[in-house]
Structure 1
Amino acid sequence: MVKSLPLRSEVNSEETWNLQDLFKTEEDYNSAVTELEKEVASYADQFKGKLTDASTVIEGLKGYATISEKIVPVATYARLSASTDQTNDEAQMRSSKFGSIAAQIESQLSFVNSELLSLPTKVLQEAMQKSAEFQNFLEKLISKKDYQLHPEVEKTLAAYSSTFNGPYGLYNTTKMVDMAFEDFEVDGKSYPLSYVTFEGDWESEPDTAVRRAAFEAFSAKLKEYQHTTAKTYDMHLQIEKTTSDLRGYPSIFDYLLFNQEVDQSMHDRQIDLIMNELAPHMRKYAKLLQSVHGIDKMTFADLKIPLDPTYEPKITVEESKKYIDDALAIMGNDYIHMVDRAYEERWIDFVQNKGKSTGAFCSSPYGNHPYILISWTGSMEDVFVLAHELGHAGHFYNANREQNVFNARPSLYFIEAPSTMNEMLMANHLLANSNDPKFKRWVISSIVARTYYHNFVTHLLEAAYQRKVYERIDEGGSVNANILNNLKRGVLEEFWGEDVDIIDGAELTWMRQPHYYMGLYPYTYSAGLTISTQVSKRILEEGQPAVDQWLDVLKAGGTKSPVELAKMAGVDLTTEQPLRDTIAYIGELIDELVALTEEIEAAKVNE
């Protein structure tokens, strides 16, 4: 039975993360902010107007790197303390206040890029030759030369950065603070509802009547806020469009993909191939769910149900550690040491409480250890989610140690490869340890329903919808709730065809995803999983040499483009083949689920 969520003050602190590793006390945090503001002012006095030759460029960048490292812990502390309880006024005010301070700092430091880009390219190239440490930073900076505005304009835009982030903050406030869900009833029995309980429990509830009632009640509440949420989103889109136009990018897609170091063809390939070629496999999966559960008509509200809910063990946090340690052991002792520390040193926030951000994420502040947020429900899906987030942690645990603060973070296109890799390693480990048909079906259905459905279907359909939204914005248009609902419904109907009924409420799923405030992010999940699927196959076949190559990729951080990083791991992203191979692999998994189900049903008949 799902219970109402406790307040943050009522949860077991041992199952929360320990932010004291960032700052012991509030006083320490405030002192660090004050000191940072002084250092930024002093740095500006020392270097503004003086970045004139290779030597001063190098000295200036050393100081800039030091300040960048000091910004990280205070920014992380402000954000993480707010993410666990959106109803905590003190945490929200701290986060908001630091947002304003960060904008001021960014404005004060905007002269660095402006002055560097006003120098002749040969001066920057000389600085690169003298200091390899800053070569990557300067190369990327030079590539932005055509899109750099007048220094005073850059300074003004930086000062407004906190305001420009306003729509995302407003979205979270609407979702996590204002949107209060009432209990719903089925056959005279009352059930509690919230964002966390819907996405963590009711969406996958085996009882069809309860699941559909929860979906209806959840959708009804979303609908009450659709116009405010749409206006918030349109505000965000117009800011992006204006910025793209001001900087002179050919299109909003060019602007949003620039820092990802990929062109639009790689973005579109993910969407077009999956929409066309994965759809038949996923429709077969939907028909299998329908058959096994005896559902008359498969609807959108039924797509997240487990294939075999009777074979879904409840897993404690402590038990999850053994699963994850065993599955990731192939990554080596150093990696497992990191995983063990994550549990022992409270890097992970497991609890469910009112006001906590939905979903899961990993924050990996440079110079400190990673932090993971998850709302633990005790299902196998949680183990895959935690393995996923530990993949992000392992990535930056390695990259942050090997690279400087400018070089640690790779392109967004690559960011989901290390995370989904861990899900693949988890699946491979579980499959290798049993021949029991019911266990195998459970594991494969977990891979399909969690790893591939989530990353290759849910996020990819978000990307297909997002592309339609940006095409409209790029032509000078705007959006409202009706337009967004129609676009989302159209994408869902195109993918699922006649096999799934896209019922009322399905079109509102655009309201649930914060990724839309993070640029062209949703498609990168399938891009990352394409890479990790291929590399995990190599690890299965080749063992240690493939693991060593993958660890080298993690350590490389952002020193190479996504295509170069994938190439290091033996995957050629310049062709469609890795994506086609991955889609074929998903098809094979679904075919195996069908075969295992037939075997299990036949065994029942013969008993």
Structure 2
Amino acid sequence: MNKTKALPKRSEIPAESKWKLEDIYASDADWEKDFATTKQLLDKVQAKQNTLAESGQSLLETLKLEEVISQYIEKIYVYARMRRDEDNTNSTYQALTDRAASLSTQVSSATSFIQPEILAIPDDQMQQLRESEPGLEHYDKYLNEILRGKPHTLSASEEALLASVSELAGAPSKIFSMLNNADMKFPYIVNEQGEEVELTKGRYVQFLESKDRRVRHDAFKAMYATYGEKRNTIAATLTSAVKRDVFYARTRKHESALKAALFGDNIEQSVYDNLIKAVHGQLPLLHRYMGLRKKMLGLDELRMYDLFAPLVEEMDAEVPYQDAVATIQESLRPLGEEYSKVLEEGFTSGWIDVYENQNKTSGAYSWGTYAAHPYVLMNYQSNLNDMFTLAHEMGHALHSFFSNKNQPYTYAGYRIFVAEVASTLNEALLMHHLLDQTKEKEKRMYLLIHYLEQFRGTVYRQTMLAEFEKSIHEQVEAGEALTADSLTATYGELNKKYYGPEMVIDEEANLDWSRIPHFYNNFYVYKYATGFSAATSLAHQILEQGQPAVDRYLNFLKSGGSDFPLELLKKAGVDMTTPEPIEEALKVFGELLDELEQLVGVK
């Protein structure tokens, strides 16, 4: 598609480049029928309130009804929202999305009694109910998961009180978001062409990727000067968020905020600690990479604003969509015939909305319903990055496809801890294929740097952020105060440790904690590093071992949420309770670094 032309209207996009949402609902009229049916079912489920302890049959009927309602509201909401994403100015689908969101809230309210009632049933009575009704066996894991939380569940009145203050608990995140996205104004800087350009968060990385070091320096100084002016306010919002986490952990009788956050996925703290320890053991590799970056840039001192500076000429060759599809298919052949067949179906059967059009939702995602095949939204721009994005999103899509096909609805959904494994593994296999096919020195260097940067940004950086989170929560749990100065000092020590002696740490870089929204969603970032490491390890096994590793991996994709994340990964061939997967992933980082050093002439 010609990038110089105005964006086409939705109606001008060829049918073969659009997704087929008709596979969810053939018409809006069918959507309306399900909408009406769902509203009727809400009366039925509410009639079940206060009956769950009466008999195994009553409990079973309620769980089945909840499941039916969940499938309906999933279809209703996904269809409406994805139709709106096609063209966000379409008033018909704006309205359908609003109605779907409202109905979703009604569903949540109508079914909210189920878990508290289950938890209120005495253990011996619950055992009798389960033994009396064979149909409840299907819900064994579901019930066990609810009951696992019993020691951390309060009385009904206490739970109601906690629920009523949930909006207050979300205040730190909301305040930071408003400050960060609405009120924060950045100054103008002079770009490479000598023009005054307003600095924005969106333009910041573009400026850091400039070949002109003066532009990089000015953008960096301007960005952190702006955050520095608000450092005390942001320290207060982050401190409030940490204190909230500690309060909820203690109220629910968890040993720490970290253990409370890991409880939902049934993750032992050793997994978190092993990640940090394993990365610490391989920090010399990152220090070497920083030294190589300094050499390739020809600098006497490497500074934090040099981290994104281009080391080689960007591969600007166009990658048309059909070429990307062919390359991805070829790169994923190691996953076997079954995977390749479904991948082909995804590329040819209306799963993907390929190109950008006026008012289409930006970015990319994979989504869908249990009742239909998965979907992928793209805004494909015929470049290398978008080819990787397509491979990534198709990894999510095929994970959902295999999960939905092989698991009942109750256990089809998989947790975030494993969600990025399938997508990142696809990227790893695509990168391996491209490196295998690329002999030209400059292009090979570009690919190696692209991959090294993924490791740096996803394994090293996210682990550093995870270590920072752990530290500041432990400080509050020990009764220590968090201030802008203490947060900056803690972050500064980690910067020195991670980036090593080759990096001159600018004072402003230690304010980086002030601009990271993920810190308001506690202990989340470590999952990026563990997911990337698990995917790297599995990709290596697939390439080295062949069919046995492929079989384990496909079984993982087919398992959905039928077991806890760590158990699913163990069956796939990765034991995240040990540091081994992290070490294996960083071994790959070391091998990539070795080759880049050889090409540069360092070795």
From 178, 198, 208, the equivalent of 2:213 is 208
SS in 2 for 1:498: coil
- Residue of 528, 531, 538 corresponding to 1:528: 531
**Once the two structures are superposed, what CA deviation does each residue of 1:219-270 show, in whole Å capped at 9, x if it has no partner?**
3444455555555444444443332222221211121001121111111110
Q: Does 1:324 align with 2:328?
A: yes
- Determine whether 1:384 maps to 2:393: no
| Deviates most, 545-554 or 33-42 | 33-42
Change (3 A) 1:591 1:364: farther
Letter in 2 for 1:279: L
Residue from 171, 196, 199 that aligns with 2:202? 196
The 1:139/1:590 distance shift into structure 2, 3 A limit, reads: same
Alignment partner, residue 253 of structure 2: 248
CA–CA separation in structure 2 for the residues paired with 1:179 and 1:324 = 41
Match in the other structure for 1:539 = 542
Q: Aligned-pair distance for 1:375?
A: 7.1
Distance in 2 of aligned mates of 1:442 and 1:505: 29
The alignment's TM-score, normalised by the length of structure 1, stands at: 0.82
Amino acid across the alignment from 2:561: G
> 1:470-481 maps to which residues of 2 (within 5 A)?
470-475=473-478, 479=482, 481=484
In structure 1, C-alpha distance between the alignment counterparts of 2:393 and 2:377, rounded to whole Å: 8
CA distance in 2, matches of 1:97, 1:478: 45
- Judged with a 3 Å threshold, the aligned counterparts in structure 2 of structure 1 residues 111 and 555 are, in CA distance, closer, same or farther, namely same
Matched position secondary structure for 1:309: coil
1:74-113 alignment, distance < 5 Å:
76=78, 105-113=107-115
Equivalent in the alignment of 1:605: none
What is the DSSP-based 3-state SS (H/G/I as helix, E as strand, rest coil) of the residue aligned with 1:206? Answer: coil
Identify the match of residue 293 of structure 2 among 276, 289, 292: 289
Kindly report which structure 2 residues correspond to 1:334-353, keeping only aligned pairs within 5 A, or say none: 335-336=339-340, 337-338=342-343, 341=346, 345=350, 347=352
Q: Quote the residue 1:417 is aligned against.
A: 421
AA aligned to 1:582 is A
Identify the match of residue 504 of structure 2 among 501, 505, 511: 501
Relative to structure 2, which stretch is displaced further, 88-97 or 513-522?
88-97
Equivalent-residue separation in structure 1 for 2:219 and 2:48 (angstroms): 60
Aligned CA RMSD, in angstroms, stands at 4.3
CA contact (8 A) 2:188 2:199 kept: yes
Deviation readout 1:80-112 (Å, 9 max, x if unpaired): 799999999999999899878756643442321
Q: Quick check: 1:177–1:355 contact (8 Å CA) kept in 2?
A: no
Q: What is the distance in 2 between the residues matched to 1:475 and 1:28?
A: 57
- Is 574-583 or 520-529 further displaced after alignment? 574-583
The one-letter code sitting in structure 1 at the alignment partner of 2:202 is V
Instruction: Name the CA distance, whole Å, in 2 between partners of 1:245 and 1:90.
Output: 47
- Report deviation, 1:331: 3.1
* Cα separation, 2, equivalents of 1:11 and 1:507: 49
30, 54, 57: which one aligns with 2:56:
54
Q: Indicate if the aligned counterparts of 2:87 and 2:359 stay in contact, CA closer than 8 A.
A: yes
Instruction: Tell me how far 1:423 sits from its aligned partner.
Output: 1.7
User: Which piece of structure 1 moves more, 117-126 or 420-429?
Assistant: 117-126
SS at match of 1:413: helix
Relative to structure 1, the CA distance from residue 61 to residue 10 in structure 2 (aligned partners, 3 Å threshold; closer, same or farther) is closer
Give the Å deviation of 1:360.
6.0
The answer to whether the 8 Å contact 1:416/1:525 transfers is yes
Corresponding position: 1:43 with 2:45? yes
1:69: how far off?
A: 2.2
Aligned residues: 593
Residues 561-607 of structure 1: per-residue CA shift (max 9 Å, x gap) = 233222222233343323223222321221121012219xx9xxxxx
Match of 1:396 in 2: 400
Q: Which of 1 and 2 has greater Rg? A: 2
Q: How does 1:229-268 map to 2 (within 5 A)?
A: 229-268=234-273
CA distance in 2, matches of 1:125, 1:475: 43
Name the SS for the 2:302 alignment partner.
Answer: coil
SS, match of residue 190 in structure 2: strand
The answer for the alignment partner of 1:559 in structure 2 is: 562
1:466 and 1:353, CA in 2 relative to 1: closer, same or farther beyond 3 A? farther
Cα distance 1:97–1:177, how it changes in 2: closer, same or farther (>3 A)? farther
Quick one: which amino acid aligns to residue 467 of structure 1? K
2:563 partner letter = K
1:68 is matched with which residue? Answer: 70
Q: Distance in 2 between matches of 1:494 and 1:302?
A: 18
Shift of 1:298: 0.9
2:152–2:252 Cα contact (<8 Å) kept: yes
1:429-578 → structure 2 map (5 Å cutoff) = 429-450=433-454, 452-475=455-478, 479=482, 481-578=484-581
Cα distance in 1, alignment partners of residues 218 and 514 from structure 2: 19
Amino acid at match of 1:507: N
Q: 1:460 and 1:574 mapped to 2: Cα distance?
A: 16
The match for 2:142 is: 137
What SS is found at the alignment partner of 1:52? Answer: coil
Q: Secondary structure at the match of 2:418?
A: coil
> SS in structure 2 opposite 1:184?
strand
Give the direction of change, closer, same or farther, for the CA distance of 1:376–1:184 in structure 2 (3 Å limit). Answer: farther
Closer, same or farther: CA 471–75 of 1 in aligned 2, 3 Å: farther
More displaced stretch, 11-20 vs 461-470 = 11-20
Q: Does the 8 Å CA contact 2:10/2:357 hold for their aligned counterparts?
A: no
Contact persistence 2:431–2:447 (CA under 8 A): yes
Letter in 1 for 2:204: F
User: Retained in 2: the 8 A contact 1:107–1:156?
Assistant: no
1:110–1:155 Cα contact (<8 Å) kept:
no
**Aligned-partner residue type, residue 549 of structure 1:** R
Secondary structure, counterpart of 2:410 in structure 1? coil
Contact 1:8 1:85 in 2 (8 A): no
Deviates more, 1:584-593 or 1:9-18: 9-18
Say which SS state the counterpart of residue 304 (structure 1) adopts: coil
64-73 or 225-234: bigger deviation: 225-234
- 1:579 lines up with 2:582 in the alignment: yes
Q: 1:181 to 1:26 in 2, by over 3 A?
A: farther
Structure 1 stretches of 5 or more lacking a match?
Answer: 603-607
CA distance in 2, matches of 1:96, 1:166: 24
Amino acid at match of 2:307: L
1:395–1:555 contact (8 Å) kept in structure 2: yes
Deviations 1:170-193 (A, max 9, x none): 555544444455653146234464
Partners of 2:35 and 2:591 in 1: CA distance: 54
CA contact (8 A) 1:168 1:517 kept: yes
- C-alpha distance in 2 between matches for 1:396 and 1:295: 47
CA distance in 1, matches of 2:414, 2:481: 32
- Deviation of 1:462 after TM superposition, in Å, equals 1.6
Which range is displaced more, 46-55 or 70-79?
70-79
For structure 1, which segment, 132-141 or 574-583, has the greater mean C-alpha deviation from structure 2 after superposition? Answer: 574-583
Instruction: After TM superposition, give the deviation of residue 448 of structure 1 in Å.
Output: 1.1
Deviation of residue 68 (structure 1)?
A: 2.2
What aligned pairs does 1:6-21 form with structure 2 within 5 A after superposition?
none
Cα distance in 1 for partners of 2:176, 2:93 equals 17
User: What residue in structure 2 maps to residue 277 of structure 1?
Assistant: 281
Displacement of 1:44 in angstroms is 1.6
Query: What amino acid sits opposite 1:211 in the alignment?
Result: R
Q: Distance in 2 between matches of 1:78 and 1:156?
A: 34
Please say if residues 314 and 446 of structure 2, whose CA atoms lie closer than 8 Å, have aligned partners that are also in contact.
no
Partners of 1:179 and 1:42 lie apart in 2 by 49
Q: Distance between the aligned counterparts of 1:220 and 1:194, measured in 2?
A: 13
Determine if contact 2:459/2:528 at 8 Å carries over to the other structure: yes
Asked whether the 8 Å contact 1:128–1:138 carries over to 2, the reply is no
Q: Secondary structure, in 3 states, of the residue corresponding to 1:390?
A: helix
- Alpha-carbon distance between aligned partners in 2 of 1:222 and 1:349, rounded to the nearest angstrom: 37
- Which of 589, 592, 595 is the aligned partner of 2:595? 592
Aligned residue for 2:506, secondary structure, equals: coil
In the alignment, structure 2 segments of 5+ residues that lack a partner are none
Inter-CA distance 500–229: structure 2 relative to 1 (3 Å threshold): same
